[in-house]
Amino acid sequence: MTTGTTQTADGATLFRQDSQFRAFFDDPRWALAIIRATVLEAAHPQIGAALADNSTFVAHPWRRLRNTFLSMRRMFDTDPAVRDREAARLNRLHARMSGSDSRGRAYDAMDRATRAWVVATLFESAVTMCRLSGQPLDQHSMERMYAEYRAYLATLDGDAAELPEDLSDFWRYFDRVVEEELENTEAARIILYRLFDHLPAPALLDGAPAVWAVGRAVVSPLLGAITVASLPEPYRRKAGLAEMPGAPFLMQGAYLAAGLTRFLPEGWINAEAIIETLSLSPCSDDPRARTVAALRARLRRASALLRLLTPLSGDTGPGPASATSTATHEGRRSAEEFFRQVLDQTGDGYLDWPDLAAMARELATRLDLDEPAETRLYDAFAAWWRELQAALDTDGDGRVSADEYAAAVPTLAGPALIRVAEVLFDAADKDGSGTIDSHEYRALFRTGFHRDLTTADSAYRRSAFVGDFLSFMSGRRTNTPYDPLLADA
């Protein structure tokens, strides 16, 4: 194979429709493999620190899943222009992530060796996935898929020199990193022991907390046990990961069962359609929304029945829960809810720059922004963070706690937030017409334009857009188009 190219040694073009990687996109086994790969990524000190400081995978896992899936689709697209554009976007995103971990060690999301490890975990987990499901890849298929992953890395970094050229050398490289560099990082522990146990419901199951809680209570420990059992033994030993009795058999059974889906008719499982359906908001005008709405109504009834049979703590009685319910009923969030659902994007219990950067990142992703519009949006959020820090950070620790936010009873609608709204409007107004039409509205909110399009004044004007944005951010209102954009999981 040729380093940094998109061709194998026999001249077969990579990234085509029948590529080895693309064959796994709609494979249910891939879900198990991705979780495993993510743990191995998070166990790397640099990646673990970057995830802990910047990622929204704890507070907004479903949004993160959707964006990651779409990014990988683009990175393996048959059109080189699509791949190059996505690589440029990812590089801009990663260039904004650097810092130090709790032990003072520096991390940089653009570090080439670290990025190579991410690609290595995806490849190795795909090979392991096939082996555990009783369908091991033959040598030719394995080498071809490795060439695809090296080409993926080359698209990002300009070459694939950080990964060994020969597959035989790759296995020695992988074992060395596992044994010498991986650690029991906080990010890896969160994924294994916190994320599964506290995974928020996707939009599809919103409003049926009892149904989701029961399902999560059953699935979460099993998923955690399967993931731990599938990890390399040297890492399990180093990290002191407890293995549940019978976990290897459970893991083997899960992969085998997922592998049986290959006998289903082609097209029955479509990962992109599943992820999109899970992400549908209640106000979406997607044709599938009617079916989802009916399903959601049934889930609410089932949830109500479960509440009667097994009341959840905090659902009844006086106190803060009642105040929260009242606020929500009136179309407003309490300060605590707003802080947790909207401001604390990373889920670490504090508001700081990575939280606002995550908002900017999500908005830029939705609008598919290029430079310089992307930088203008980040700069506007950075100015808002400086304004918030000056107003709310009373103890001077460089971040805002939930108590500091609640005690200040802020309106948040200062000049910097108004500037954020104006920059966001300009970014959404792709044609520069001074209004947001139905197509531009859908690009941002992923739902229909809920305004009267039959009148002459049907477009979304700047003043109305800025007012609605400020109403959401400072008035803490619920049931707005911004909920699925910034508040939903």
**Collapsing DSSP states into helix, strand and coil, what is residue 203?**
helix
Q: In CATH, what class is 322-487?
A: mainly alpha
d(Cα 457, Cα 73) in Å, to the nearest integer? Answer: 38
Residue 57: per-residue pLDDT: 85
CA angle 329, 355, 155 (to 5 degrees): 125
Closest by CA position to 251, among listed 134, 402, 105, 369? 134
CA angle 41, 43, 48 (to 5 degrees): 80
Is the model's pLDDT at 110 over the cut of 50?
A: yes
pLDDT band at 18 (very low <50, low <70, confident <90, very high): confident
d(Cα 186, Cα 347) in Å, to the nearest integer? Answer: 13
d(Cα 184, Cα 45) in Å, to the nearest integer? Answer: 9
Taking residues 381-402, report their average pLDDT. 93
Residue 290: per-residue pLDDT: 60
CA distance readout (Å), 422 to 106, 390, 414: 35, 22, 13
- Whether residue 372 has a cis bond before it, omega within 30° of 0: yes
Please provide the average confidence, as pLDDT, over all residues in the chain.
Answer: 83
Closest by CA position to 30, among listed 199, 336, 289, 262? 262
Is the model's pLDDT at 4 over the cut of 50?
A: no
- State what percent of residues in the chain have pLDDT above 90: 48
Dump pLDDT digits (tens) for 131-186.
999 999 999 999 999 999 999 999 999 999 999 999 999 999 999 999 999 999 99
CATH 1.10.238.10 positions along the chain are 322-487
Residue 286: per-residue pLDDT: 60
Taking residues 45-49, report their average pLDDT. 95
CB atoms within 10 A of CB 118: 18
CA distance readout (Å), 240 to 24, 177, 182: 31, 17, 13
d(Cα 219, Cα 32) in Å, to the nearest integer? Answer: 13
Closest by CA position to 26, among listed 268, 251, 223, 202? 268
Is the model's pLDDT at 292 over the cut of 70?
A: no
Taking residues 84-105, report their average pLDDT. 93
d(Cα 244, Cα 283) in Å, to the nearest integer? Answer: 42
99 touches 109 (CB < 8 A): no
Dump pLDDT digits (tens) for 204-214.
666 667 778 88
pLDDT band at 411 (very low <50, low <70, confident <90, very high): low
Please classify residue 31 by burial: count the beta carbons closer than 10 Å to its beta carbon, then call 0-12 exposed, 13-18 middle and 19+ buried.
Answer: middle
Give 457 or 217, the one with higher predicted confidence. Answer: 217
- What are residue 178's phi and psi, to 5 degrees? -60, -45
Is the model's pLDDT at 454 over the cut of 70?
A: no
Q: Which residues pair with 108 in a beta bridge?
A: 98
pTM: 0.83
Residue 291: per-residue pLDDT: 65
